[in-house]
Amino acid sequence: TSAMFASKFRGSMLGALAGDCCGAPYEGHDVCVGGERIILKKYFDKLEGPYFKAPKKAYTDDTAMSMCLAKVLIRHGRIDDKELAVEFVKEYFTDPRRGYGGAVIQVFNKLRKSKFADPLQPAREQFNGSGSFGNGGAMRVAPVALFGHKKTSDEIIEMAKQSALITHYHKQGIDGTVLQALAVHAALLMDPEQQLNTKDFISNLIEKMKAIEVDEEGLGLDDAQPFTKQLEAVARFLSMNTEPSDDDVLNVLGNDVSALYSVPTSIYCFLKAQKTIKGIDSDNPFRRAVEYAISLGGDADTIASMAGAISGAFYGENVISTNLVKHLEFHEEVTLLANELHEASLKTNVGR
Ligand code: F2R
Ligand code: MG
Ligand code: MG
Ligand code: MG
């Protein structure tokens, strides 16, 4: 129903915000062990407990850029390269201190200097023409998947690619964006009252990524079908009788700023959190996903934000503690944008 989708839109966008705001203080940290796990648990217990007055937990580039995408989709009903580039640049120069990626700032400078003559050119010039493989395309893509809830996977794939290309030209930067969009889209279309079949969820994504990564052998890439391989590792981890160690997860799935070593990790966090997780003592599967993602350290804000976006799209907004939400900077603005994005998505009459 429309009300259920509206709740899922808010759940996904607030879920992404929560992961970003709660994870940001942990970005660049090592994996949490022993006492650090307990500190992390207390951090969440406190935020979810009775409301107390405190400075809001600040969002970072992940949220800033997601909001740009939502705004462009609301305003134009599609991704317009120039409009999106203008939105990113306006946002960055208005509020640059949000922890942006080290190289993406060059894209913003060039876009502004060139007066957006070719909105895709600066991204193509990154890293001597290879493009960025960072997770910046993936971290902001949830609004695209939400907006496309009535569209086909192929249409989601096209829109996700287009949204990435303003900053991320490397195939891994693009394919990571596509994968995160497909994960949010799949979660959005599922009934949260039904037990989620994690095996089916991951095999559907594997099939889709196989088609996207087809014939890569001839392209001179370091590695062919890398996302398919990472997703197969996620499936292996999920099917084990005992939980893999954090070291195994980090060595195989990773926790860094590259799309390849963060997007499959976020999907793993979401799926793993369907069940209880050792060292994470919560009945709430959304909190488990986000808290576990943050406990892995590394690119904690982004992995938690991506996991939160998928989880919120599956369960809807009620899974997120209302007390926690009140501590998040811009939670009112994000809620409003989620509602507007939902309304805008109903106006596009492309059938599934
Ligand atoms: N930038 C950060 N965190 C570090 C500092 C933040 C800290 N809190 C602070 O306040 O100082 N986080 C944000 O960046 C990630 C998203 O990055 P995005 O948008 O993909 O940017 P970029 O610059 O394109 O790529 C990120 C880095 O990846 C490496 N890289 C990418 N492509 C490469 C290539 N072809 N060859 C070699 N290296 C490549 C570079 O180190 C890039 O700087 C999110 O975590 C977000 O939260
Ligand atoms: Mg960030
Ligand atoms: Mg970049
Ligand atoms: Mg980050």
User: How many angstroms is it from 27 CA to the middle of ligand 4?
Assistant: 6
User: How many angstroms is it from 61 CA to the middle of ligand 2?
Assistant: 5
Q: Which of the 8 DSSP states describes residue 269?
A: H
Nearest to 325 by CA among 18, 53, 5: 18
User: How many angstroms is it from 27 CA to the middle of ligand 1?
Assistant: 12
How far lies 90's CA from each of 62, 84, 135, 173, in Å?
15, 10, 21, 23
Model pLDDT, residue 280: 92
Model pLDDT, residue 219: 65
Residue located nearest, by CA, to atom 47 of ligand 1:
302
For the chain, residues with pLDDT lower than 70 are 217-222, 349-352
Model pLDDT, residue 351: 45
Alpha helices in the chain (DSSP H): 2-23, 35-48, 61-76, 81-94, 104-113, 121-125, 136-139, 142-147, 153-165, 171-189, 198-212, 226-239, 246-252, 263-272, 285-295, 300-315, 322-326, 331-347
| pTM for the full predicted model | 0.97
Model pLDDT, residue 255: 98
Q: CB under 8 Å to 148, separation ≥6 — which residues? A: 155, 156, 159, 181, 185, 345
Residues with CB under 6 A from ligand 1: 27, 60-62, 99-104, 127, 130, 132-136, 139, 170, 257, 299, 301-302
Counting ligand 1 atoms within 8 A of each CB, the residue from 59, 63, 132, 263 with the most, and so the one to mutate, is 132
Nearest ligand 1 atom, CA 60? 47
Nearest to 108 by CA among 150, 76, 64, 160: 64
298-334: b (≥16 Cβ within 10 Å) or e: bbbbbbbbbbbbbbbbbbbbebbbeebbebbbbbeeb
Block residue for tokens 């009140």: 326
Ligand nearest to the CA of 100: 1
**Residues of the chain above pLDDT 90, percent:** 94
Q: What is the pLDDT of residues 180-229, one digit of tens each?
A: 999 999 999 999 999 999 999 999 999 999 999 987 766 666 678 999 99
Model pLDDT, residue 352: 41
User: How many angstroms is it from 160 CA to the middle of ligand 3?
Assistant: 15
Counting ligand 1 atoms within 8 A of each CB, the residue from 29, 100, 257, 303 with the most, and so the one to mutate, is 257
User: How many angstroms is it from 98 CA to the middle of ligand 2?
Assistant: 7
